[in-house]
Structure 1
Amino acid sequence: MRVNVYAEEMTDRIEIVEKVIDGQTFTGLRIYLALPVSYKPEAGGHGVRPVDPAEDGQAQQLQGPFMHRPGDDDSAAVTFWGKRDLRETLKIAMDALDRHYARTQPEGPGNG
């Protein structure tokens, strides 16, 4: 199975979760997602309106948890489970990203 999650959907809300199955502890890294919404501020800074794709100009983005009311959080999340040390897999992924960006980004302020 392939799941696509875009960087714009990921948040800095993370949670470490655990469950025990047949005496074995599984650790998960849960990353909460939020759907970005494009909007344009109303003239004078009062209110917002949805973006019309036919309009010219730059839309702004909002992102937030999917809450019906306080305490009722139905936000989507992706959980990566590990039977052993999940950090090793995540380190491999970070190393691969570091190598990729080292090849594709020029050196300089703000690019390192």
Structure 2
Amino acid sequence: MRINVYSQELTDEVKLIEKQADTGVVYSAVQLMLHSSDRLHNHPGDDDRSAVTFWLPKSAHRREALALAFENMAKQVRNARDETGLD
């Protein structure tokens, strides 16, 4: 699977979320919130915005591997050729 997020959709908002399943297990995730038009939300409390959600693994080892992948992605962003893409 490939997910494309265009630069115009990016925001700097990142959320840590937790959801408890009906089994009692609590799952954690990190969400990268995407830009969304105000016209899509019916009232001020409506937060059904688009986001890319990364559900976190249970083990510390796999969580660290995910964190390292995100850090590597940040390094690649900083080292990418200047002035590519759109704002």
Structure having the larger proportion of residues in strand: 1
Asked whether the 8 Å contact 1:9–1:34 carries over to 2, the reply is yes
Residue ranges of structure 2 left out of the alignment (5+ in a row): 83-87
Written as runs of structure 1 = structure 2, the 5 A alignment for 1:45-56 is none
1:7-53 Cα shifts (integer Å, max 9, x gaps): 32121222111234556543200111115xxxxxxxxxxxxxxxxxx
Q: TM-score, normalised by structure 1?
A: 0.49
AA partner of residue 75 (structure 1) = R
Q: TM-score, normalised by structure 2?
A: 0.58
Asked whether the 8 Å contact 1:25–1:83 carries over to 2, the reply is no
- In 2, the alpha carbon distance for the partners of 1:99 and 1:74 equals 30
Match in the other structure for 2:35: 34
Structure with max Cα Rg: 1
**RMSD value, Cα:** 3.0
Q: Judge which range, 70-79 or 13-22, deviates more.
A: 13-22
Identity %: 29
- In 2, the alpha carbon distance for the partners of 1:100 and 1:73 equals 28
> What is the aligned residue count?
77
Residue ranges of structure 1 left out of the alignment (5+ in a row): 36-63, 107-112
Structure having the larger proportion of residues in helix: 2
